[in-house]
Structures are given as C-alpha cells and as structure tokens.
Structure 1
C-alpha cells in the first residue's frame, strides 16, 4: 500500500481550463483524463490524501462526494472550493489540515499555504496556487521547504509520498522545480 497526494482536480469546472491553461478542449475531456490518470497511477489498496478542491462545489457538497468517491479517496483536506461539503455528510474523513510522516520528513498538509501555523518547522504540502505563480509556488521550493501538489504541476497524476521523499533527498539545498517534469529532468542530468 502506497500513499498518494494531489490537489485541485476541479472536476466539472469549465473556467479552470482557461484559468490554468489546462490542455483540454472541454470539461468532459478534462474530467475523463483526470480520472484515467488517477486509475493508471493509484491501486485500489493505496491511500489517497487530497489537499482540496476536488470539484467546483460551493453549495451542497454532492459533487465533491461523488468525484472523491470515484477516486476512492481516503482523506480530504478541504479546499476553498469544497466549502459546500458538510464533513458530517461525507462517507470519508474531511479535515482542515493534517500531518504526514515518511522517511524522516514531517509534512503539514493544507490547501492554502497561508494557513500554515507560524510555529510549524517541517515541510509543507499544499495546493491552491495551481500553476499560476510557479516563481513563488513551484512544485518544489526546497529553500522554503514547500511542495505544491496542484494537479497541473504533477501532470494531473497523484504523486507517491515515497517518491516525493526520495526526490527531496536528491534535491540540492535551495533548489526549486517548476513542476514534476522539471524536477525529473534536472535530477536525471545529475544537477
């Protein structure tokens, strides 16, 4: 059983295609691709921690529950577009934040990095900023000990937690990688 991370699927959200320059011609194509990449990556016995904004679901929570159930998700850290979801109505745990540990790393998991307590001294896993400001919020900001798991930066595939910690072990101090592809290219070159 592996643990996987991702945020900001925004299922059913037409405006996100233009807002984040997603490579999809329609919401249907986007939703199908997001689900297919999930199923290609995550096995049924794996654990999925989603860092918010499953769907554009500001009122009832029904879309969030439906899509998260299709992902067979295990834990939802609620994002700003999941506000319609009452945690008591969900058939899965819904929290505002959590912590994860793996291979000596401690991670504070939140949707918005602005919500991290000032006293937190470990790494931060977050979403919310998508691919709109990768200078400030890249996939990996080793110098700030932050990882942005917005789906656009992960090629719309959940990221294995053990693969992330292995990547962080290899990252030179102060390194910053725009997205998962840039991190792979750099490390493949031995930089």
Structure 2
C-alpha cells in the first residue's frame, strides 16, 4: 500500500485548459486523460490524499463528491474551488489542513501555502499555484521546504509519498526542481 498526493485536477473546468496551458482539446478529453493516468498509478488498496480543487464545484459539493469517488480518494483537503462541499455531508474526511508523517519528516498539507500555520517549521505540501509561477512555486523548493503537488507539475499523475521522501533525501537544501519529470530524471528517483 502506498500513499499518494495530488491537487488541482479541476475536473470539468474548461477555463483551466487555457489558464494553465493544459495539453487537452476539451474538458472531456482532459477528464478522461486524468482518470486514465490516475488508474495507471494508484491501485484500490493505496491511499489518496487530494490537496484540493477536485472540480470546479462552487455550488453544492455534488461534483466534488462524484469526482473524488471516481478517484477512490481517502482524504480531501478542501481547496478554494471545493467551497460548495459541506464537510459534514461528504462521505469521506474533509479538512482544511493536517500533518502527514513519513519517516523522520513531518509535512503540513494544505491547499494554499499561505494557509500553513505561521509557526510551522517542517515541510509544506500544497497545491493551488498550478504551474503558473514555477520560479516561486516549483514542484520542489528545498530552500523553502515546500512541495507543490498541482496536477500540471506531476503530469496529471499522483506522486507517491515514499518517492517524494526519497527525492527530498537526494536534494540539496537549496535545490529547486520545476516538475516531477525533471526530478525523476535528475535525481534518478521513482515518484510513482
């Protein structure tokens, strides 16, 4: 069993294709490709933690629940586009942030990095910024102890927490790595 992380699928969201220059012709093609990549990566016995913006669901949470179900998700950190979802009505845990432990590292997981506790001294895993500002919010910013798991930076496939920890073990304290593909190639780690 592995633990996997991703954020910002934005299922069904037509504008995200242009906003993030996603390589898809339509929301349907995007949704299909993202689900295929998810199923190729995550098995039913694995744990999926989604760091927000499953869908563009500002109304009542139904689309978020439906899409999260398709992913077989286990825990949702609510993002700014999941606001229609009432955590009390979700059939899975919904939180604003939490601490995830792996080996000797503690990770604070939240959708927006700005929402991390001011006194947090461990690593931060977040989404929200997509791939729109890779200088400030790359996949890994070791100097800031941050990891951005926005879907675009992961080639729309969740990253395995154990693989991420192996990458962080190999990164220097000042490393910045743009995306998962660059990390796998440069540091010879398997993130999936």
Which TM-score applies when normalising by structure 2?
0.97
2:159 maps to 159
The 2-side partners of 1:48 and 1:113 are apart by: 20
The 2-side partners of 1:12 and 1:186 are apart by: 33
SS in 2 for 1:82: coil
Could you tell me how far 1:145 is from its partner in structure 2?
0.2
Is 1:38 paired with 2:16? no
The 2-side partners of 1:38 and 1:30 are apart by: 12
Is 1:144 paired with 2:144? yes
SS in 2 for 1:81: coil
SS in 2 for 1:138: coil
The 2-side partners of 1:5 and 1:143 are apart by: 21
1:54 maps to 54
1:181 maps to 181
Could you tell me how far 1:76 is from its partner in structure 2?
0.1
Could you tell me how far 1:185 is from its partner in structure 2?
2.2
The 1-side partners of 2:52 and 2:173 are apart by: 28
SS in 1 for 2:81: helix
2:8 maps to 8
Q: Pairwise mapping of residues 17-166 of structure 1 onto structure 2 (< 5 A)? A: 17-166=17-166
Find runs of 4+ consecutive structure 1 residues off by over 3 angstroms. Answer: none
Q: CA RMSD in A?
A: 0.6
Runs of 5+ unmatched residues, structure 1? none
The 2-side partners of 1:180 and 1:102 are apart by: 19
How many aligned residue pairs are there? 188
SS in 1 for 2:35: helix
Which TM-score applies when normalising by structure 1?
0.97
Could you tell me how far 1:157 is from its partner in structure 2?
0.2
The 1-side partners of 2:54 and 2:82 are apart by: 7
